[in-house]
Structure 1
Amino acid sequence: METAQRGRIWWLITAAATLLAWLIGAYLPPVANLWVELNLITPAGQPHLAAFPYDYPAVGIDGHTLCSLAGILIMVAAATRWISYLERHTPPAPALTPELPTTLTPPPPRP
């Protein structure tokens, strides 16, 4: 039962890891440039709601970047949940009925 409970929160763990990667990437200039291109942070010199402390150049976030980040987090969580369902899928057991003939006979001619 405990493993089933743990399996249900993988989507939350991956979303938190994605958020952590986004936060750490904001402090690395090459990654921050990519985040600016993907509209996940606002570039320096642009108005933002909040700026990352001790970050140079002073990048930040605004409403558009928050919506972009929320969309990415939703996609990551949904993909993780879908993959976890695929791992739990078991194919149905074979039927206990006799096998069907492999060759089909043509239907009788119409009168």
Structure 2
Amino acid sequence: MAYVVTDACIDILDQSCMEECPVDCIYQGDRMMYIHPDECVDCGKCMPACPSDAIHWEHKLPADAVPFRDAAVEFFEEHEQASGGAAECGPVGIDHPVVTQAGGRA
């Protein structure tokens, strides 16, 4: 895994990150985007594209955002259809429990 989408993306779903990703590894859940940890090539193009600063390099992840790294891994383990390219997959339409239990954005 290289980059992680955090709670700053919840209920935003801007998708600017998807447009910049050269390997199509950013998938849409119901309330948040997820970066596939096995497909990401660590290019970093998604970070500056995100208007809500929701994407962090996993090695510089704020301590309070660590659950979102684990959530991304578990999200892709549980949803096998989310692989091989986000454009081909389309929106997954569900989220990891850490996202579904999070409050909405104002």
* TM-score of the pair, normalised by structure 2: 0.27
Higher share of residues assigned strand = 2
| Relative contact order, higher structure (CA 8 A, sep 6+) | 2
- Bigger-Rg structure (1/2): 1
* TM-score of the pair, normalised by structure 1: 0.26
Higher share of residues assigned helix = 1
